[in-house]
Amino acid sequence: MMRKLTYAALLWLGIACLSPGWAQTASGKYKNLGPQVYASLIQGSVFADDAAGKSYAYTVVRGRPAHFVGYSLDPLKLVVDAALPETDGSWDVEVSTDGIVYIAAANGVLFQHVPGTDAVTSLGIVLPGEKVIWDLAAGKDGEIFGGTYPGCRVFRYHPKDGFSDVGRGPLVEDENYVRSVTYHRETGKIYAGIASHSAMVELDPKTGEKKQLLPDQDRDQEAIYHINLVHGLKGGDRVFGWLTGPTERVTTIYNLKTRKFEAYMPTMDVKSIIKAPKGSKVYYTAGKKLYEIDYAAKVPEPKELASTEGETKTVRWGKNGMLYLLTGSKHIHTFNPKTGHLTTEKVDIPGQPIDIQSIGIGPDGLVWSGGYLAGGHATYNPKTGENRQLPGLDQTEGLANLGTEIYFGIYAKARLYAYDTQKPWDLKQNNPRLLGQIKGQDRPFAVLGLEKLNKVLFGTVPGYGQLGGALVAYDVAADKLETITNLIPDQSIVSLVEAGDLVIGGTSIFGGLGGKPTQAEAKVFGWDPVRKQKTFELVPVPGAMAITGLMKGPDGHIWGFADGDLFVLDVAKCSVISTHRLFEIHTRPSHIWRSAFMMTHPSGVVYASVNGRFLKIDPHTMQMTQLEENVGMPVMDEQGKLYFKRGMDLWLYEPEATVE
């Protein structure tokens, strides 16, 4: 159990969150350096009309908080910019049959907006325990359906009835995600895409009856990530599902009349699929191209019509017969099907600060931050206070230095990059440069530079629903990647540290989200990077789920955290010297990938952050004192100053030994 806090520490909890500026205590001083990474990533989007018939484009800008923004179409002008409290994004926005716009928040809350007004209203959590709303679909008579995580539920909302669980529990047992939903107005059935193990479920919301439709040969993929339904086609209405996974990305087509999956098409923007108001033509985008398929033809074939910008977020037909598309590149395209002419107008999306996902001290002495979900990077200069934005890369899970270069592990698909800090940040000039991506892997949290060998090691977590991470070695001189999978069977590699001629790694029993662990406890292992072989493996704390925060301690041994236990490892003897319990985990979380961070201060004191608890550890007595809460991913520079994150903000902590 966690030790009792001293009165001074309890007092500190009340004053340390002052922002911005300094807060002084006996343990050192803290300063909020403010937001670091900004982005204008748009997510859920929809076109809608107000009561007077005026048309708008609505979207949600990722940020802390997220912002719901709306633009009139004629002329294109920002008319709504409303914060969505307590959430950082929205995966979908939908308009009901009675003209109300609904916003699916990433915190499980459903918001409502009346077109033509400038406000949003929170309707509350859709279902108890559901943390994310992934997708929405409009039913009949003003009702809205939505799919959720982690309960794999489908809810219904109606202004008169409120919320209800129309699936009567999970759509698929032991799954977490209803990733996509669509509604068939003729039958009233819901079609839902499932993750982390792909399935397509037909749901009768009136009875709760569920039927899994996806063929067995497609069940080994990760998800039906997006889904859409086209009514009124020759031969039957079709459900289009974007099937994604480690081996393929294709579009499945299910015929509701024949009750069969009739075809596969290449990957496309499934949310863009829309039928013409008259006739049998269907339009969609894929790979920045607009296509047309005529279902009246004997063999419907795609026909390329025009070039577009970015992934289509939403599409609709205007009253003027034009096709409107809003894309993730922040453009509105207007297509005239009679002339084949497409016009493009840029939408000015206000940027928002986003959460910090990773922190590191670069070889340039700057503090590097990577952004959550929207990606991008920023640097903070401790000498000048300058913040610089460096867009272009996706979400960084881990980073480390070797020489003058920073190595990034990027989500998704475990893409690995290197950036030479002595040259300008310029993706067009291949700086940062892509080293490669690791098949079957997703999140490279552990990154370690080995100066003597001129190599960089990456430890990874596999894709959604999968188990078994990888250890990846990059040989800088040879410019070559070498991957060893399942070094510890069915476990991810989430922490790495150098120990003499060996590398010590820590594992997690958890794989990709939605995967079910098969192993009982996490392990520490030794790796010889020259012989390329494992030298030992052991369980430092029985029953622990993850080994994180590995570091070389002030006593020369390797320190790490096994869930809530600090342990000290003698590498030479391949044995654990001591363990020290800080707290217990009484329930199993969905995953543990990087719960602890540790560093030895020049004063000899050890600082650690474990599940947000900021600790000061006396290495002689192993006495632990909690200094603060909500401290994430601390790193230390050469002067002994610590930097950590709180949401979107970067904070500086100067221990008393370094206070001038």
Strands 547-552 and 558-562 come out as antiparallel
Contact 503, 550 (CB under 8 A): no
Cβ count near 454 (within 10 Å)? 14
Asked if 335 and 290 count as a contact pair (C-beta separation under 8 A), the reply is: yes
Q: What's the whole-number mean pLDDT along residues 35-61?
A: 97
Distance CA 565, CA 2 (A): 11
Q: What is the pLDDT of residues 484-524, one digit of tens each?
A: 998 999 999 999 999 999 999 999 999 999 999 999 999 99
Please state whether the peptide bond connecting residue 412 to the residue before it is cis, i.e. omega within 30 degrees of 0: yes
Asked whether the beta carbons of 642 and 658 are under 8 A apart, the reply is no
Please state, for a pLDDT cut of 70, what percent of the chain lies above it.
95
CA distance 387 to 450: 29
| First-residue to last-residue Cα distance in the chain | 36
pLDDT digits (tens, 9 = 90+) for 401-437: 999 999 999 999 999 999 999 999 999 999 999 999 9
Q: What are phi and psi of 14, to 5 degrees?
A: -85, -20
Backbone angles phi, psi at 215, to 5 degrees: -60, 155
Task: Give the residue from 179, 144, 185 showing the smallest Cα distance to 163.
Answer: 144
**Residue 24 pLDDT > 50, yes or no?**
no
Residue 320 near residue 337 (C-beta atoms within 8 A)? no
Across 33-49, average pLDDT: 97
pLDDT band per the 50, 70, 90 thresholds, residue 26: very low
Tell me if 504 sits within 8 A of 571, measured CB to CB: yes
Answer yes or no: are the C-beta atoms of 525 and 531 closer than 8 Å.
no
The predicted model gives 525-550 an average pLDDT of: 97
Q: Are 595 and 549 in contact (CB under 8 A)?
A: yes
Range list of β-strands (E), 267-321: 269-275, 281-286, 289-294, 303-307, 312-317
Q: Is the pLDDT of residue 3 over 60?
A: no
Predicted local confidence at residue 573, as pLDDT: 96
pLDDT at 15 over 60: no
Where residue 247 falls among pLDDT bands split at 50, 70, 90? Answer: confident
Q: How far apart are CA 222 and CA 225, in angstroms?
A: 8
Q: Among residues 260, 369, 486, which one has the least CA distance to residue 37?
A: 369
DSSP 640: S
- pLDDT score of 538 more than 80: yes
Question: How much is the pLDDT for 11?
Answer: 30
Average pLDDT taken over every residue of the chain? 93
Residue 495 pairs in a beta bridge with 506
Cβ contact 140:97 at 8 Å: yes
Can you give the pLDDT at residue 372?
96
pLDDT tier, 246 (very low <50, low <70, confident <90, very high otherwise): confident
Q: Is residue 276 within 8 Å of residue 265, measured between CB atoms? A: no
Do strands 210-212 and 524-528 pair parallel, antiparallel, or not at all (unpaired)? unpaired
Identify whether the C-beta of residue 356 lies closer than 8 Å to the C-beta of residue 335.
Answer: no
Q: Which residues, including other chains, have CB under 8 Å from residue 317's CB and lie 6 or more apart? A: 274, 276, 277, 323, 324
How does residue 588 score in pLDDT terms, banded at 50, 70 and 90?
Answer: confident
State pLDDT tens for residues 131-164. 999 999 999 999 999 999 999 999 999 999 999 9
Residue-by-residue DSSP string for 5-63: PPHHHHHHHHHTT--SEEEEETTEEEEEEEE--EE--EEEEEEEE-TT--EEEEEEE-S
Strand order in the sheet with 289-294: 269-275, 281-286, 289-294, 303-307
**CA–CA distance from 351 to each of 71, 293, 389 (Å)?**
15, 37, 12
Question: What integer pLDDT is reported at residue 585 of this predicted model?
Answer: 82
427 three-state secondary structure: helix
Q: Which residue has the higher pLDDT, 601 or 584?
A: 601
Angstrom distance (rounded) from CA 284 to CA 271: 8
How far apart (Å, rounded) are the C-alpha atoms in residues 295 and 84?
Answer: 41
- Give the separation between CA 525 and CA 471, rounded to whole angstroms: 12
592 contacts 606 by C-beta, under 8 angstroms: no
Instruction: Inform me whether the pLDDT recorded for 63 exceeds 90.
Output: yes
Coil, strand or helix at 107: coil
Instruction: Tell me the sheet residues that pair with 588.
Output: none
Tens of pLDDT, residue by residue over 519-531, are 999 999 999 999 9
Compute the distance between CA of residue 250 and CA of residue 306 in angstroms, rounded to an integer.
Answer: 22
Give CA–CA dist 71/558, Å, rounded: 56
Distances (CA, A) of 266 to 248, 269, 294, 315, 555: 10, 10, 17, 20, 57
pLDDT band per the 50, 70, 90 thresholds, residue 657: low
pTM over 0.75: yes
584 vs 273 pLDDT, higher one: 273
Q: Are 50 and 44 in contact (CB under 8 A)?
A: no
pLDDT of 454-494, one tens digit each? 999 999 999 999 999 999 999 999 999 999 998 999 999 99
pLDDT at 566: 97
CB atoms within 10 A of CB 328: 16
Tens digit of pLDDT for each residue in 606-621? 999 999 999 999 999 9
Residue 613 to residue 600: CA distance in whole angstroms: 17
pLDDT at 282: 97
